[in-house]
Structure 1
Amino acid sequence: MAAIEEVANSTRLAVDEAKAAAGGDEQLEYDMMEKGLGTFGCAEFMQCILVSLAMFFDAQQSFISIYTDDYPSWHCTDFTTCSPGSNICNIPKSSWSWDGPIHKTVVSQWGLECASDFVIGLPQSCFFIGCLLGSFLLATLADTSLGRKNMLILSCLAMSVTSIIIVFSTNVWIYSAFKFLIGFWRSTIGTCVLVLLTEKVSTEWRFTVGIVEYFCFTIGYMSLPGIAYVNRFSSWKANYIWTSIPAIVYSIIAYIFVTESPRWLLMQGRQEEAIAMLKGVSAAENGVDLTASLLKAPPPPKASIFQLYSSIAELFERSWALKRMVAIMVLGIGIGMVYFGMPLAVGNLGFDIYLAVVFNALMEFPSCVATYFLENCRRKPSILVFSVASGVCCVMCVLVGSGLQEVKVGLALISFFSACTAYNVFLIYIIELFPTSVRNTTTSLVRQAIVFGNIFSPFLISAGRKNDFFSYGVFGIVIMASCITLLGLPETRGQALCDTMDQQEKKEHSPV
Structure 2
Amino acid sequence: MELNVDEVIERYVGSFGLPQLLQVMLVSFAWVFDSQNTLVTIFTDAQPSSWRCKTSADPSLSSSWCMNNTASGGDGNKGQSASHVCGLAAGSWEWIGGNSASTIAEWYLICHRKFLAAIPTSLFFIGSIIGCAFYGRLTDVWLVRKKTLLLACILTSTTTFLTSLAPNIWVYSLLQFANGFAHSGNGICCLVLSTEVVGRKWQDQVGQYGFFFFTAGVLSLPFIAYHTRTYWRYLYRIISLPPLVYAFLLVSLVSESLCWLLVRGKNKEALEVLQKFAR
Q: In which range does the TM-score fall when normalised by the shorter chain?
A: 0.7 to 0.9
Secondary structure at the residue paired with 1:39? coil
1:163 shift after superposition: 0.9
Preserved CA contact (<8 Å) 2:34 2:184: no
Partner of residue 80, structure 1? 68
Q: Is 1:136 matched up with 2:136?
A: no
1:242 shift after superposition: 0.8
For residues 299-330 of structure 1, the C-alpha deviation after alignment (integer angstroms, 9 at most, x for no partner) is: xxxxxxxxxxxxxxxxxxxxxxxxxxxxxxxx
Matches of 1:186 and 1:31 in 2, distance apart?
33
Matches of 1:121 and 1:193 in 2, distance apart?
30
1:183 shift after superposition: 0.7
Letter of the 2:214 counterpart: F
Preserved CA contact (<8 Å) 1:82 1:96: no
Matches of 1:281 and 1:253 in 2, distance apart?
18
1:239 shift after superposition: 0.1
- RMSD of aligned alpha carbons: 2.0
Secondary structure at the residue paired with 1:143? helix
| Alignment match of 1:67 (pick from 23, 32, 43) | 43
1:34 shift after superposition: 4.0
Letter of the 1:48 counterpart: V
Q: Is 1:157 matched up with 2:145?
A: no
Partner of residue 220, structure 1? 217
Partner of residue 14, structure 2? 38
Give the gaps of 5 or more residues in structure 2: 54-65, 73-80
Letter of the 2:2 counterpart: S
Matches of 1:42 and 1:31 in 2, distance apart?
19
User: Normalised by the size of structure 2, how large is the TM-score?
Assistant: 0.86
Matches of 1:211 and 1:106 in 2, distance apart?
34
Equivalence map 1:144-183=2 (5 Å) = 144-183=141-180
For residues 125-176 of structure 1, the C-alpha deviation after alignment (integer angstroms, 9 at most, x for no partner) is: 1111111111122221112221211111100111101111122211100000
Matches of 1:32 and 1:166 in 2, distance apart?
46
| Alignment match of 1:248 (pick from 244, 248, 252) | 244
Preserved CA contact (<8 Å) 1:163 1:240: yes
1:115 to 1:138, Cα distance in 2 relative to 1, 3 A = farther
Matches of 2:92 and 2:29 in 1, distance apart?
47
Give the gaps of 5 or more residues in structure 1: 1-8, 15-28, 286-512
Q: Is 1:237 matched up with 2:233?
A: yes
Partner of residue 200, structure 2? 203
Letter of the 1:219 counterpart: A
Higher relative contact order (CA 8 A, sep 6+): 2
Partner of residue 105, structure 1? 102
Q: Is 1:280 matched up with 2:276?
A: yes
1:202 shift after superposition: 1.5
| Alignment match of 1:265 (pick from 255, 261, 266) | 261
Matches of 1:63 and 1:193 in 2, distance apart?
19
Partner of residue 53, structure 1? 29
- Of 182-191 and 85-94, deviating more is 85-94
1:57 shift after superposition: 1.2
Matches of 1:261 and 1:35 in 2, distance apart?
19
1:115 to 1:59, Cα distance in 2 relative to 1, 3 A = farther
Preserved CA contact (<8 Å) 1:200 1:263: no
Preserved CA contact (<8 Å) 2:52 2:96: no
1:79 to 1:117, Cα distance in 2 relative to 1, 3 A = closer
Preserved CA contact (<8 Å) 2:24 2:193: no
Matches of 1:193 and 1:115 in 2, distance apart?
43
Matches of 1:192 and 1:224 in 2, distance apart?
23
Preserved CA contact (<8 Å) 2:109 2:115: no
1:255 to 1:229, Cα distance in 2 relative to 1, 3 A = same
Matches of 1:101 and 1:162 in 2, distance apart?
26
1:117 shift after superposition: 5.2
Matches of 2:247 and 2:223 in 1, distance apart?
23
Secondary structure at the residue paired with 2:84? coil
Partner of residue 2, structure 2? 10
Preserved CA contact (<8 Å) 1:79 1:95: no
1:60 shift after superposition: 0.7
Letter of the 1:62 counterpart: T
1:81 shift after superposition: 4.2
Preserved CA contact (<8 Å) 1:55 1:217: yes
Matches of 1:65 and 1:171 in 2, distance apart?
15
Secondary structure at the residue paired with 1:112? coil
Preserved CA contact (<8 Å) 1:81 1:91: no
Letter of the 1:260 counterpart: E
1:141 to 1:37, Cα distance in 2 relative to 1, 3 A = farther
Partner of residue 386, structure 1? none
Letter of the 2:37 counterpart: Q
1:90 to 1:256, Cα distance in 2 relative to 1, 3 A = same
